[in-house]
Amino acid sequence: MPTRNQAKEAVKILLGYLEDDVEREGLLDTPERVIDSWDEIFSGYSMDAESILSSTFNGEGYDGIVLLKNIEFHSTCEHHLQPFSGKAHIAYIPVDRIVGISKLSRIVECHARRLQNQERITKNIADDLERYLSPLGCAVIIEAAHGCMRCRGVKQANALMTTSALRGVFFDKAEPRQELFQLINN
Ligand SMILES: [Zn+2]
């Protein structure tokens, strides 16, 4: 893997592709700032799904839907390095362990803050919920607007993409699925 300094040099080369004078005041610290911002927007690589979802509590018999909706997220399209962002809705039905509510938004960050596509984020979150919580069912629904569509190519500023992963009873049975979508649309 290249060092941080090599990464900064690479950004400088890319700037030079756009402008001759990459030493001008406004651009002087841009490589440093770009790599700093990458540390944040790609911080998912240093997060670990297992440690996020391993702090569970006794559900004390609760067997209804747990839904955290409108989780804001920002990610980066791996094809164009353009941002895409939107909302995630995460639900599960516990068997006997429940997880701290903030962990559900952490698990979104864990997958969103990487080079991604929306489909993979959706699937990976559902895989983790299944693997670490063993719920009766789980669901991940993501709606996002993609920078690579807004600013370039087909220039669709208002198009929203929705992806979903439904597992367990949310996949098998119409009733819990209906209840879930009612709760999300409330
Ligand atoms: Zn893209």
Q: How far is the CA of 99 from the centre of ligand 1 (A)?
A: 33
Q: Is 72 a catalytic residue?
A: no
Q: How far apart are CA 127 and CA 111, in angstroms?
A: 11
Report CA(21)–ligand 1 centroid distance (Å): 29
**Tokens describing residue 54:** 């391993």
Over residues 116-158, the pLDDT tens digits come to 999 999 999 999 999 999 999 999 999 999 988 877 787 888 8
Domains of the chain: 4-41 (no CATH), 56-185 (3.30.1130.10)
Q: Are 144 and 86 in contact (CB under 8 A)?
A: yes
* Residue 90 near residue 67, CB atoms below 8 Å: yes
Q: Which of 79, 151, 156, 178 is catalytic?
A: 79
Mean pLDDT, the chain, rounded, equals: 95
Judge whether 74 and 156 are in contact, CB under 8 Å. Answer: no
User: Which of the residues 32, 78, 119, 178 is marked catalytic?
Assistant: 78
146 is catalytic: yes
* CA-to-CA separations, 30 to 83, 114, 162, in angstroms, rounded: 18, 21, 34
The pLDDT, as a whole number, for residue 161 is 95
Strands (E), 47-120: 56-58, 66-77, 83-93, 97-99, 115-116
Distance CA 182, CA 130 (A): 22
Q: Per-residue pLDDT tens for 161-177? A: 999 999 999 999 999 99
Output the CA 178–ligand 1 centroid distance in Å: 32
What is the pLDDT confidence band of residue 16, given thresholds at 50, 70 and 90?
very high
Q: Quick check: is 110 catalytic?
A: no
